[in-house]
């Protein structure tokens, strides 16, 4: 789609034109199909743009309220549910997971603290037994398998990205503490009060608002490179990313959309995501206190991740911008990337939150060029 063919809709406050320009370039130069970007600064939305098509065939225009599966960007929203419980004193990140989930104590896991599952250090990056996509719709089955499983490496000694299991692990803790599934907790404590259009587990009535994803389509060379990478990968990488292998097309199934998969199947708009993260850096403490946010964003150690294969540092559920500037030039910025290109992030120093969602899946697990272009546009706008 050329720049001339892309009609951009929405609002862009004066001074934030670089964001609009970068957004248009995603369609003209980076193969975008449909997308939205939102920026909240000082608690107010200054950018809310959308464009393109809600389906790869180009039959449905992307609308202001189009919902999109954002994959691991969901982890930021699920983590925030846990931080609300931490803020209330109902959940201790240094307590053993087994305090809240007694069945978890077997297999050498009795002493694993909550912070290790939130920091991808528990050794449970994936399941040892083969599972299908459909198994992810069965909460009790997946949490039962995780509770019974031995870790894939010595817990606490390294990070190994918990691509799908993260949501079931911290999600079951949220459920045991609050009495609500993570999707229902998010709706009642975050999405509803903030009127933020984001959901973990869609009701059937909202399915018609979903965009359809175009899953990854690797070239032969890319497939060969991926096969070589997997051949030398740590077993945790295979468990996390290839049991079962995912292309992104799985998210187009209604059953996927209606399940609660709190690491991977959140659906929302960019404005919904930015609204939530905007409350963390606007000084309001509407969701959690400044002290709890500090705890959430305290690094748990820089590791070359056993699954991702590159250096990364996590806080408690949030990824940190760090020296790699993954979420902008301020190392204290934090957020989360989603498989394919989506992201949400916030910068406490600048008081700004940014979100990007799209339906053309890229191969990057982090720092997709389209997301990085949005972040660059925001900081050029901020000067």
Those residues whose C-beta lies under 8 Å from the C-beta of residue 80, and which sit 6 or more positions away, are 186, 190, 276, 280, 287, 288, 317
The H-assigned helical ranges of the chain are 17-29, 74-87, 97-100, 114-118, 139-148, 165-178, 182-186, 192-194, 220-231, 235-241, 254-258, 270-278, 290-296, 369-382
CA 63 centroid distance within chain? 22
H/E element, 36: strand 34-41
- Tell me the pairing of strands 352-358 and 9-12: unpaired
Do residues 45 and 11 make contact, with C-beta atoms less than 8 angstroms apart? yes
72 is catalytic: yes
- Cα-Cα-Cα-Cα torsion 233, 239, 241, 242, nearest 10 degrees, comes to 90
Q: Which of 36, 72, 321, 342 is catalytic?
A: 72
Please give the C-alpha separations between residue 362 and each of 165, 228, 338, 357, in angstroms, as whole numbers: 22, 19, 10, 12
Those residues whose C-beta lies under 8 Å from the C-beta of residue 252, and which sit 6 or more positions away, are 212, 213
- Cα-Cα-Cα-Cα torsion 285, 290, 293, 297, nearest 10 degrees, comes to 140
Between CA 1 and CA 192 the distance in angstroms is 36
- Residue 259 is encoded by which pair of tokens? 């399940």
- Residues involved in catalysis: 72
């Amino acid at each position: 789609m050329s720049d001339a063919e892309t009609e951009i809709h929405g609002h862009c406050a004066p001074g934030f034109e670089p964001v609009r320009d970068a957004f248009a370039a995603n369609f003209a130069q980076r193969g975008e199909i449909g997308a939205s970007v939102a920026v909240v600064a000082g608690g107010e939305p200054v950018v809310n743009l959308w464009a393109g098509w809600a389906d790869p065939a180009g039959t449905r225009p992307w609308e202001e309220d189009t919902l999109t599966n954002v994959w691991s960007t969901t982890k930021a929203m699920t983590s925030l549910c846990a931080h609300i419980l931490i803020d209330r004193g109902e959940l201790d990140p240094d307590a053993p997971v087994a305090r809240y989930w007694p069945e978890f104590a077997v297999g050498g896991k009795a002493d694993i603290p909550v912070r290790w599952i939130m920091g991808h250090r528990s050794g449970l990056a994936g399941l040892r037994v083969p599972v299908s996509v459909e198994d992810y719709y069965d909460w009790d089955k997946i949490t039962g398998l995780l509770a019974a499983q031995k870790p894939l490496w010595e817990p606490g000694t390294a990070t190994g990205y918990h691509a799908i299991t993260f949501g079931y692990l911290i999600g079951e803790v949220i459920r045991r503490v609050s009495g609500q599934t993570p999707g229902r907790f998010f709706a009642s404590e975050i999405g509803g009060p903030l009127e933020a259009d984001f959901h973990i587990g869609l009701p059937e009535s909202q399915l018609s608002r979903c965009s359809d994803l175009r899953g990854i389509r690797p070239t032969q060379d890319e497939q060969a490179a991926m096969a070589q990478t997997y051949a030398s990968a740590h077993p945790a990488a295979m468990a996390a990313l290839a049991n079962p292998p995912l292309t992104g097309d799985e998210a187009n199934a209604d059953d996927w959309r209606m399940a609660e998969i709190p690491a991977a199947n959140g659906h929302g708009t960019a404005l919904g995501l930015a609204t939530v993260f905007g409350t963390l850096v606007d000084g309001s403490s509407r969701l959690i206190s400044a002290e709890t946010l500090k705890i959430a964003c305290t690094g748990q150690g820089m590791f070359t991740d056993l699954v991702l294969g590159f250096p990364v540092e996590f806080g408690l559920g949030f990824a940190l911008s760090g020296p790699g500037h993954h979420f902008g030039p301020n190392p204290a910025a934090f957020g989360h990337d989603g498989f394919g290109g989506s992201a949400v992030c916030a910068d406490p120093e600048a008081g700004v939150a940014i979100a990007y969602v799209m339906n053309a899946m890229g191969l990057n697990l982090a720092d997709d060029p389209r997301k990085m272009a949005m972040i660059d546009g925001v900081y050029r706008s901020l000067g």
